[in-house]
Amino acid sequence: MNRGAFFAIVFLILPLRAEAQSNWNQGLASGIYASAFAFMAPRTLDIIPIGEMTLWGLRGLTALDPSVSPAMDQTRLFLVDREQIVLSLALPRPDDAAGWGAVAAVLCGRAAQLSPAIAEAGTDGIVTSFFDELFNHLDPYSRYVPRDASAVDTAAGDPGLTVAVRRHRAVVDKIDPGGPASAAGLSAGDRIFAIDGVSTRGEDAYALNGALAGPPGSQVTLEVVTGHRRPQTLSLTRIAISPPTVFATRHGPMLVVQIAGFEQSTANDFRQVLTNALNSGPEPRGLVLDLRGNRGGLLNQAVAVARSLIDAGLRNQGMIGSAIGRDPEADQTWTAGSGDLASGAPVVVLVDGRTASAAEVLAAALADDGRGVVVGSATFGKGLVQAATSLPGGGTLLVTWARLLAPLGWPLQGLGVMPQICTSGTTDAVEAQLEALTAGQQPMGAAVRASRAARPGITLDEILQIREACPAALGSSLDMQAAQFLVTMPLAYSAALISGL
């Protein structure tokens, strides 16, 4: 008897559980899996056979019911229930994403018939568990976002105004310059009689501002009186609200600019802050760029900030960074243009163990190009880029497809940015570093050079050994003390600057 016949007989004679009631949508699941496989196969950083991805994902059934599991040999895919094979399917061609999606959906459907726990999860729960198990074998940033989570627009929006209640009347309190309300001619003090047809009479400011908010791109209708005109009806489009991310203060001879994250307006805000500071009052002797606690955000905004400070004539021809992947479409290179808004003034970059992703790209670019000295501790080490696609049913797939590299070619992932002055040690250790720099010596030179010499493929043990020179830590007052020392001591600043060569 051949093996296929044996499995067919086993399937027929095995005493099965009573079939569970399931709302499993096999056609939808097949489309979801097939689309995911087709998207992932050419893009993952390492080549992963679709069959291997399928087996990984089907182990999500076991996560829902430990008595159910998948298995695979050279020619067939099996579903095992209570240590007995209950379904056997021929393997599709290795590159047949649709075929693998179909067999995965058939196995999941049969498992839902056999297991009340799996049936209870339904299509959404089974698909989510499938991707959870699949991505357990990849990096921490590749993931599946289910339909309900994808449908929620977490970005808040408003028409560019806030409302206050004065003498029992709803009036415009503040107008955002350049926002929809400003473009429509509204001004502070204008009365608002209704929002979306609902009278404002008797409502408090909290409720009224809540009525103004909504998803970006949606409309809100206001009945208003502007100046001495008659009431008019205005329809305004809500826009996304970006929280402020750039904060500037003077600290002695330094301009300190904190960037808390990278949102849509961060680069413009940074350029505005820097230009205003340089054109008003005494010119600062140096710029301190505080990236401590910055978890990243929009990479293009970090690149744009770097272009504000790096000139193409610097080391590495003004290279800011690059992304490389297996798919040629993932490859990108970012370079500077002509123009340094700070006109060559000393730049000190503060980082800590929470500095990650786009913030690390910025810090690495300034250090590698000789435009800034990095002070703090080893950063987080998030240097992977994800590509996203929508799947049938409304879910979203994010798959890591590129590694971020610093201008000198070293990978940010795992390694992070090694500072040229380490402040995660004791006060005495920091003071000793600064004294050595004044004498033209660089205590962190060997560690920085080892970090810059790393290349993709570096092992975890090698990464940990490099990072031991300055373990990740939270920022402290030592960071700003070191920054002020560097800004006021040109010889120490120069000695620290060359340590990355």
Catalytic residue from among 30, 35, 115, 382: 382
What would you measure as the largest C-alpha separation in the chain, in angstroms? 95
Which residues make beta-bridge pairs with 143?
398
Asked if residue 368 lies in contact with residue 343, where contact means CB atoms within 8 angstroms, the answer is: no
78 phi and psi, to 5 degrees?
Answer: -120, 150
| 174 catalytic per annotation | no
Amino acid of residue 153:
D
CA quadruple 7, 12, 17, 19: dihedral positive or negative? positive
Residue 241 sits at the vertex; the CA angle it makes with 251 and 364, to the nearest 5 degrees, is 50
Amino acid of residue 61:
L
Residue 450 sits at the vertex; the CA angle it makes with 427 and 307, to the nearest 5 degrees, is 85
The CA distance from 324 to 329, in Å, is 9
The CA distance from 410 to 424, in Å, is 23
Q: Which of 133, 78, 137, 141 is nearest to 110 (CA)?
A: 78
| 357 catalytic per annotation | yes
The CA distance from 96 to 103, in Å, is 11
The CA distance from 57 to 34, in Å, is 12
- Region label for 90, one of left (φ > 0), alpha (ψ between -120 and 50) or beta (otherwise): beta
Which two structure tokens, joined as six digits, stand for 459?
């092992």
Catalytic residue from among 115, 357, 451, 499: 357
Asked if residue 150 lies in contact with residue 396, where contact means CB atoms within 8 angstroms, the answer is: yes
Asked if residue 84 lies in contact with residue 16, where contact means CB atoms within 8 angstroms, the answer is: no
The CA distance from 496 to 374, in Å, is 9
Residue 266 CB contacts under 8 Å (≥ 6 apart), including other chains: 245, 246, 259, 297, 298, 301, 304, 305
The CA distance from 206 to 211, in Å, is 9
Considering just the CA atoms, what is the radius of gyration of the chain in Å?
A: 29
Residues annotated as part of the active site? 357, 382
